[in-house]
């Protein structure tokens, strides 16, 4: 059953991402997602970027036509929420490397916040196309995390993808866990590196979703259903799947290769 809530605040985070905050007084854990319905438009699965207390939030990246439209919704807009659904990050790890690519930081920030609040040490490898797109950099810094940056164009931090930066941090530090979210090709590389370093890795995976109830099969990934088995998976459940980092399914169920990086 959906609940109608009112957007209380619209916060532009970077040139391509916007956070919508709303009151939804239901317990939620870092890593979980909601189905958010924009009446007259689409209903989308969105990981919560704010999970604590009654004020929740989602951080939306401009990707398709729908996400561009809903980014511009002003405070006061009514939206429908179902959920939260899915599992969560285990925030009891004591020494965590967070590897965020682009808008992947949206789901990682609340997890890092929860872990940091209970005394865990957090290191963040934060990647983006360019400096202004580094999502939640200040939020990570404010929770006391060590933040290292990579940008594709070299406008801040290391020039290039976030994966070599993550490799370097993995080599230097002794981590209990790696948490990662971003383009799936990136997550696959991070998971492979961390496996070589024998650090357990957890990936927040995205798939097209319709029901979010474990029924319609739209989010099937090998034998897994991202909506009910995930969206957070230990990498050893993913690395053996030929689809991980390679293909997803379109709304008709056809396999589609991931484009770009």
Q: How far is the CB of 106 from another protein (least distance, A)?
A: 20
Write the binding mask 40 to 59 for another protein: x where contact by CB under 8 A, - elsewhere: x-xxx---------------
Measured from the CB atom, the residue of 45 and 157 that comes closer to another protein is: 45
Q: How far is the CB of 39 from another protein (least distance, A)?
A: 5
Enter the tokens of residue 32.
Answer: 């979980």
State how far the Cα of 23 lies from the Cα of 230, in Å rounded to an integer: 25
Q: Is 227 helix (H, G, I), strand (E, B) or coil?
A: helix
For residue 78, state whether it binds another protein (rule: CB under 8 A): yes
For residue 1, state whether it binds another protein (rule: CB under 8 A): yes
State how far the Cα of 158 lies from the Cα of 235, in Å rounded to an integer: 26
Instruction: Candidates 19-27, 39-47, 85-93, 111-119: pick the segment binding another protein (CB under 8 A).
Output: 39-47
Half-sphere exposure of 88 (CA within 13 A, CB side): 19
For residue 214, state whether it binds another protein (rule: CB under 8 A): yes
Instruction: Candidates 21-29, 103-111, 190-198, 248-256: pick the segment binding another protein (CB under 8 A).
Output: 248-256
Alpha carbon 137 to chain centroid, angstroms: 15
Tell me the helices (H) and strands (E) count for the chain, helix number first: 7, 17
Enter the tokens of residue 171.
Answer: 């080599």
For residue 218, state whether it binds another protein (rule: CB under 8 A): yes
Whether residue 38 contacts residue 83, with contact meaning beta carbons closer than 8 Å, is answered with no
Instruction: Candidates 11-19, 23-31, 52-60, 216-224: pick the segment binding another protein (CB under 8 A).
Output: 216-224
């Amino acid at each position: 059953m959906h609940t109608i809530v009112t957007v209380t605040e619209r916060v532009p985070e970077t040139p391509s991402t916007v956070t919508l905050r709303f009151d939804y007084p239901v317990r939620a854990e870092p890593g979980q997602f909601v189905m958010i319905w924009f009446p007259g438009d689409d209903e989308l699965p969105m990981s919560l970027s704010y999970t604590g207390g009654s004020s929740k939030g989602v951080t939306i990246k401009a990707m398709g036509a729908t996400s561009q439209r809903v980014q511009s919704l002003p405070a006061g807009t009514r939206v429908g929420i179902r959920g939260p659904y899915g599992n969560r990050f285990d925030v009891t790890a004591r020494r965590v490397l967070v590897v965020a690519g682009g808008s992947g930081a949206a789901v990682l920030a609340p997890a890092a916040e929860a872990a940091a609040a209970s005394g865990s040490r957090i290191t963040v490898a934060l990647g983006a196309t360019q400096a202004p797109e580094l999502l939640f950099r200040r939020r990570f810094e404010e929770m006391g995390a060590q933040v290292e940056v990579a940008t594709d164009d070299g406008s801040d931090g290391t020039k290039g993808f976030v994966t070599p930066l993550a490799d370097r941090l993995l080599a230097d530090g002794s981590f209990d866990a790696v948490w990662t979210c971003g383009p799936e090709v990136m997550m696959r590389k991070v998971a492979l590196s961390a496996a070589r370093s024998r650090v357990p890795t957890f990936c927040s995976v995205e798939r097209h979703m319709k029901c979010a109830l474990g029924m319609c099969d739209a989010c099937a990934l090998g034998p897994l259903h991202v909506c009910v088995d995930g969206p957070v998976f230990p990498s050893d459940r993913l690395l053996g799947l030929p689809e991980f980092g390679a293909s997803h399914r379109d709304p008709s169920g056809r396999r589609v290769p991931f484009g770009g990086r």
